[in-house]
Amino acid sequence: MRAMDSRNYSNSNNLPPHHAFDVVVIGAGHAGCEAALAAGRLGARVALVTFSRATVAQMSCNPAIGGLAKGQIVREIDALGGAMGRVADTTAIQFRLLNRSKGHAVRGPRCQSDRQRYAEMMLAEVDAAAGVELVEGEVVDLLTAPDRSTITGVVLADGRRLQAPAVVVTTGTFLNGLMHIGQDKFGGGRIGEPASSGLSAALQRLGLELGRLKTGTPPRLDRDSIDWSRLQVQPGDERPTRFSFLTDMPITERQVPCHITWTNATVHRLLTDNLDHAPLYNGQISSTGPRYCPSIETKIVRFAGHDRHQVFLEPEGRDSRLIYANGISTSMPRPVQDEMVRAIEGLEQARIIRYGYAIEYDFVPPTQLLPTLETKAVSGLYLAGQINGTSGYEEAAGQGLMAGANAALKLAGREPLVLGRDQAYIGVMIDDLVTRGTEEPYRMFTSLAEYRLLLRYDNADRRLTPIGDCAGLVEPKRRQRLQRKMAIMERIEGVLQSGRVGNKRLDELLRRPDVTLESLSADRPELASLIAQDAEATEQVEIEMKYSGYLQRQQRQVDRAGRLESQRIPQGLDYSQIAQMRHEAREKFGRIRPLNLGQAARISGISLSDVAVLEIYLERLRRR
């Protein structure tokens, strides 16, 4: 990797002499910003090329960060030195810990964000990042070596060429984006923004196969046209759960409430009567959308027995007039959207500022990627975010960080950064994508993580900060905070192991559901003083003690699975030579090219006997 240049090239008209960078990131959405920041932290000189500074880190849909499983991803990004958690904490207008009444493994922090402030702060992070240069423009083509096996740079619409040995594509929903509102169809990547049309052809020319997906968004309402007095209030948590391990508690800024209302029989009748005008039902849209996040027209068809559906009214910012109507995503014609909204309680006079719409876009089926998110077809070409068939800001940001880091690590001749399924939700997501692919927009759920008891939001720093530190992604302050927290945890554990009540050790007592660390500390000043020093250390010890039996069992499962994970498969292996193997298995292994037997076993349609045949074949090869 080249030594970093200390000059500040502040915009696209002020590029360095030969436009030569280590890494070019295309698109400054959630994936692109984390990719550029991660590569920059590793000392790479990065060009982050995006249509416009004004749309960096835009939230295309819901003004919220985190949620179930997504909250864990944000904490993981933060533990690895990423920006999303800090930016979300600073610009949040409401915090809620979801699933608070359930077990720790499935709780997820979420915040309502100030959409504009979030984007502004992320832009400021990018502007301030050493080695990262924001370049305004549209990338229309990719440059490669003559044999097309290695990336060498990108071409912009105005003819500029940026040379780089690594390129990370994070173009979101923009590739050949086509939006729908009723019968109206128009090209674009997001409402009011152009589509990206050259890149799809460039990717295909390099041998990558493309698919098509769709997603949608609800109408935004005018705050002042809603009758708030008729709606149920949903306040934030009294004690906010922060995302970033660097954010100091308590967060004291006033929180803004959300409100809840419901659809009703009139709304459902209106939508049913107009289904032939719905692009999703009249054949106008044929690509697959997210099953878990259906449009309101899909809900009334799929759940015909339900007499109402919940609608959350979420402010888009502390001072914004826009209210996001979460739950009524739609691409119905505008007059139907107007009528639908006004048939809902509290919204009788509501004015739509921006109509809901659906968007279809190209994606790259992600089985064409290595676990580093580098394409198998072109060395140095990485893909991250919605282009890989995922949906959601957090999923995009997690991939962006990994792709940016891996691009820089490869250039520096260092070991890649790949997280296991037992180490991070980010690891589960990337393994799912590159091993099984996806036929619909992929979103993270806790149910997708088989070791979710180990992958809690509260321990993301202990799981990942040491890994990020080894890779060079983590700032000293973060490392020091973790060391301090772990030292306090150790001291608390020491007190618990040495103290007794009768013949019971304190740590054994703590396993009882009615006993808390606080109750044990009542007449133990040393414990009380440790607890007062770090609330998170206290929470961690308590969780780990109470769940110790389950945690040990899950760790044993990880260790057993590790046997397969540790058996590497040579990348040039010719599967057609394995005569004993089923044809389908040979074809799938040859296409996915798993890195180890664990990954091979997770490919869909692969049976345990296929893996056994492969294992025996590898053993024979080794003996030879």
Binding site for ligand FAD (CB under 6 A): 26-32, 49-51, 55, 60-61, 138-139, 170-174, 189-190, 196, 199, 215-217, 293, 359, 385-386, 391-393, 396, 443
Smallest distance, ligand FAD to C-beta of residue 65, A: 11
First to last CA, the chain: 39
Smallest distance, ligand FAD to C-beta of residue 205, A: 15
How far apart CA 403 and CA 400 sit, in angstroms, is 5
Cβ proximity to ligand FAD: between 293 and 611 the closer is: 293
Phi, psi torsion values for 58, nearest 5 degrees: -70, 145
**What's the token pair of residue 590?**
């040859």
Q: Which residue has the tokens 């493309």?
A: 210
Smallest distance, ligand FAD to C-beta of residue 217, A: 4
| Cis peptide preceding 250, ω within 30 of 0 | yes
Smallest distance, ligand FAD to C-beta of residue 132, A: 15
Cβ proximity to ligand FAD: between 217 and 446 the closer is: 217
Q: Are strands 166-169 and 381-383 parallel, antiparallel or unpaired?
A: parallel
Length of the chain: 624
Smallest distance, ligand FAD to C-beta of residue 324, A: 10
How far apart CA 441 and CA 389 sit, in angstroms, is 5
Smallest distance, ligand FAD to C-beta of residue 213, A: 10
Query: Do residues 462 and 486 lie in contact, with contact meaning Cβ atoms separated by under 8 Å?
Result: yes
Cβ proximity to ligand FAD: between 278 and 517 the closer is: 278
The residue among 418, 411, 529 whose CA lies nearest residue 167 is 411
Cβ proximity to ligand FAD: between 443 and 452 the closer is: 443
Smallest distance, ligand FAD to C-beta of residue 31, A: 3
Cβ proximity to ligand FAD: between 291 and 620 the closer is: 291
Cβ proximity to ligand FAD: between 171 and 367 the closer is: 171
Query: Do residues 203 and 351 lie in contact, with contact meaning Cβ atoms separated by under 8 Å?
Result: no
Cβ proximity to ligand FAD: between 363 and 547 the closer is: 363
How far apart CA 22 and CA 375 sit, in angstroms, is 17
Residue partners of 499: CB distance under 8 A and separation at least 6 = 505, 506, 520, 524, 527
Cβ proximity to ligand FAD: between 446 and 554 the closer is: 446
The residue among 443, 442, 380 whose CA lies nearest residue 408 is 380
**What's the token pair of residue 530?**
């440790």
| Number of CB atoms found within 10 A of residue 396's CB | 28
Smallest distance, ligand FAD to C-beta of residue 152, A: 17
